[in-house]
């Protein structure tokens, strides 16, 4: 083990202790409420708590990014080698005195470390769920490899979090970290739906729902690229961009993946036209995503059962909220409330679509596919 690793070991052990203590709070609440329940009910409740905290983690991750707190502690996993900003007071004060607006300030350090603490709590709960899944696998409605795969994925997410910091907010890594959080959310939704066993004859095909979900994930990926490159305000006004229906853009420069924050692939500063291209790609693909979601809502309403219509209403409300918060970001100059609502709304849409896809019963489709032409028949699944 290197000297640097040895020096960081005490902070890591303290961080693990903090995570364990923090995880005891939801675990104690879960155990107290589920003590008399059977194994399946206990595991279902633990998955529900983890799912709830994962959604919170995604929202708080957006808050960390929006407040420019991603480098509030410029090392990992601790803060200047300490388990909390309290132990790093002198280092933070020196950095803040040198640059009063950041990237390191006391407030930003606490925001960044709170995000890490919450991530460690989620990781601890997933570790417990994976262990219990194997121990009580007879009670599981799904393979114990599902919670194990979720544990592996949360470790991958931890590595993305590490490289987000050590690579100084490298846009590709930050975007993948966001996408990975949504994948983790989807894995937990699938497991929770498996416990509830509520497959029903919602008359749309699973393929159509997954198709809409895939389009939404592309839109989320584009939105993450906008956010991590700080391109939200590259276009002013709506529906035009800087007074143009088709403004000057440099898409090749903007969508060069392997580059540092604020830099083009050749190392020069990223041009404004590249930022406009990033923004416009997200804005234009939003039309595709909205049309696909709207078609799915229409199919659920026209052909669905009562449950299908409930899903349709939820998706419609979330879609309209997303459009509203997205427009607010542009028209009102990127207010943090609207930006947070936009990030949380995207996560909610992903969760609802994953839930819907898990409940569609094979052979239940009786209506035209939302992604097909009007009157075009759907192949049954």
Q: Which two tokens stand for residue 281?
A: 């790609």
Using DSSP's 3-state secondary structure scheme, residue 357 falls into helix
Beta-bridge mates of residue 241: 244
Helices 171-196, 206-228: axis angle to 10 degrees equals 150
260 is catalytic: no
**Residue among 209, 223, 221, 251 nearest 352 (CA):** 209
Q: Which two tokens stand for residue 32?
A: 């107290």
How far apart (Å, rounded) are the C-alpha atoms in residues 351 and 353? Answer: 6
How far apart (Å, rounded) are the C-alpha atoms in residues 132 and 126? Answer: 10
Per DSSP, the residues of 297-327 read HHHHHHH--HHHHHHHHHHHHHHHHHHHHHH
Q: Which position among 96, 112, 193, 253 bears the catalytic label? A: 112
Residues 6+ apart with CB under 8 A from 28: none
Using DSSP's 3-state secondary structure scheme, residue 273 falls into helix
Q: Could you list the active site residues? A: 112
């Amino acid at each position: 083990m290197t000297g640097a690793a040895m020096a960081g070991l005490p902070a890591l052990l303290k961080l693990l202790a903090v995570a364990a203590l923090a995880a005891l709070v939801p675990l104690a609440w879960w155990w107290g409420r589920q003590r008399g329940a059977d194994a399946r009910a206990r595991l279902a409740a633990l998955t529900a708590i983890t799912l709830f905290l994962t959604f919170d983690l995604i929202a708080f991750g957006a808050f960390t990014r929006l407040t420019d707190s991603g480098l509030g502690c410029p090392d990992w996993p601790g803060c200047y080698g300490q388990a909390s900003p309290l132990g790093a007071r002198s280092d933070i004060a020196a950095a803040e005195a040198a640059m009063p607006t950041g990237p390191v300030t006391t407030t930003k350090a606490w925001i960044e470390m709170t995000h890490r603490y919450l991530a460690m709590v989620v990781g601890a709960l997933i570790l417990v769920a994976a262990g219990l899944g194997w121990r009580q696998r007879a009670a599981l409605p799904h393979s114990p490899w599902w919670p194990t795969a979720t544990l592996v994925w949360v470790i991958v997410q931890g590595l993305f979090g590490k490289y987000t910091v050590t690579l100084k907010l490298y846009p590709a890594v930050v975007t993948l970290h966001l996408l990975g959080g949504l994948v983790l959310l989807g894995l937990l939704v699938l497991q929770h739906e498996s416990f509830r066993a509520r497959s029903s004859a919602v008359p749309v095909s699973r393929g159509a729902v997954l198709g809409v979900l895939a389009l939404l994930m592309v839109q989320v990926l584009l939105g993450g690229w906008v956010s991590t490159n700080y391109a939200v305000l590259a276009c002013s006004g709506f529906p035009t961009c800087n007074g143009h229906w088709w403004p000057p853009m440099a898409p090749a420069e903007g969508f060069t993946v392997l580059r540092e924050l604020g830099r083009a692939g050749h190392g020069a500063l990223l041009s404004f036209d590249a930022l406009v291209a990033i923004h416009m790609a997200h804005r234009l693909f939003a039309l595709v995503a909205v049309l696909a979601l709207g078609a799915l809502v229409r199919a659920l309403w026209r052909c669905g059962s009562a449950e299908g219509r409930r899903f349709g209403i939820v998706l419609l409300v979330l879609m309209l909220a997303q459009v509203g918060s997205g427009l607010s970001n542009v028209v009102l100059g990127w207010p943090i409330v609207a930006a947070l609502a936009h990030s949380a709304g995207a996560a909610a849409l992903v969760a609802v679509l994953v839930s819907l896809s898990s409940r569609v019963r094979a052979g239940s489709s009786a209506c035209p596919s939302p992604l097909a032409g009007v009157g075009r028949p759907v192949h049954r699944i």
